[in-house]
A and B are shown apart, each in its own frame.
Chain A
């Protein structure tokens, strides 16, 4: 009997994705290619399947997570202001009521991780982000096609009281880029 389970739900795949996530969050601006391990799934789902478990909560305001994936994720569904992880469509600007959790001074790690899905990372089109800060040698420039720059403007506000803030993963179909709260982001 052959029972189907998409690769992203297997521990071996999640370990490979986790290794890539550690790499990109250590080197903001570096883009990791996950195509080989995703088995046709979107990178955002690969990231989420790796990071989420029954101990955390996930908000999905844009309906990016298929209903059948929730039991596999095991995470609790939550509103944006109370979620550990938030998945959003980067083409749309954040709504007025979009307020991710920023953590507390005694527990800054409780700030949300926001996964923004866009059209294409690293192509010579779309919003150009200039990154600097820990893990970036001088500056790093990366183009994000399909990213509404309002996300970057809002992020500036969310991370303005370090160590409070959010961490970002920006994904396209198969790739991921990390922008931790320590990174300064400029747009042109």
Chain B
């Protein structure tokens, strides 16, 4: 708390990371290292068909030929990929239903505020003013430990299950769409993920179906020295609608841990996918020790005419964030949106943004990015808007705002615009502002304490993005910002 410190906006005193506990549970963890055998082990462990094992091996061989990208505005010591364990799962047989899940695991999710019991989730509804319940897939280290509301969803024809289950129960869908948006060789981290991905979520919404509830996946890294490599695949058939949310946390540890996920979205004619992320991986301590390396490839394909894909992300965690949720606008009149709040504090680094690739006629995209830097952190927006020759009358609007808190942080903006259409319209607006001492003094003079004041100012700055989040998550996101900013004022 600032009393009469000279520098009201400077100085940091660490932060309170509530999700930083470790669950004590027996785990089967592969020894560190990566080779063909590891890839085969993971595939065998999941009882995968031969084509998928081969698919992984091809990805692995491709990856061996690739090098880590270096163009990001981030710095970190070289990662030793042989020191990471590529598979860890709670011991014992895989639980058939949630009732078979180890109580210790259930307690973990309860502690994180994620309802895994459908009854409890439903009971919560009455209190929360009749809000529809949210179906949850809980991924713990390398495996999904359970998915709620499967029956309710099945009645509506919606498939929501772990990726491993989908491989067994819906192999044709998986084979048709896996890697169709993010190819195995797309980039270094996507290739790595394609080789060793362990679990994740699978969603299929059939024609003209509106998914009856919000779907969400909650990712938790628990085991030491492991990486999490999950894969999410969401398919919305013609006229389908689904809103999906992912959340992520990890224990506080001094070592860095790697998270390299791939997310693929496919929207056919008139379909809409709304994908929201609240990313709260452990960011490391105030001195920059530990934290998650969040190197993620997310891409959606608007394959159908009049389809729409909307990414909303609130990124407050991770030591390093490197992700660019993108949309390929192939269908005519398709719409891509990207709403982002990225907050970095202490020594966190973020290089995040989006790619909007316009291929179809009358395609439209909107990018709203809000970057907040505090402490000695570095926060970069990197975005590409490309209009190909066929993208007649394509339009893009980009607004890219940076907010600085204190004197030692950095904000960067790297917009790339490639238009091959004379009639394409690309608008780009960018601002950089600072939480000023004047704003802070105004709040304090009115009796508002400095931490509340900064959080209020930052929330105001993010309003355009929070509006896009489902209601309950918008509230969560606001609280999360408040916690992440703790100690951001002297």
Physical interaction between A and B: no
CB within 8 Å of A: which residues of B?
Answer: none
CB within 8 Å of B: which residues of A?
Answer: none
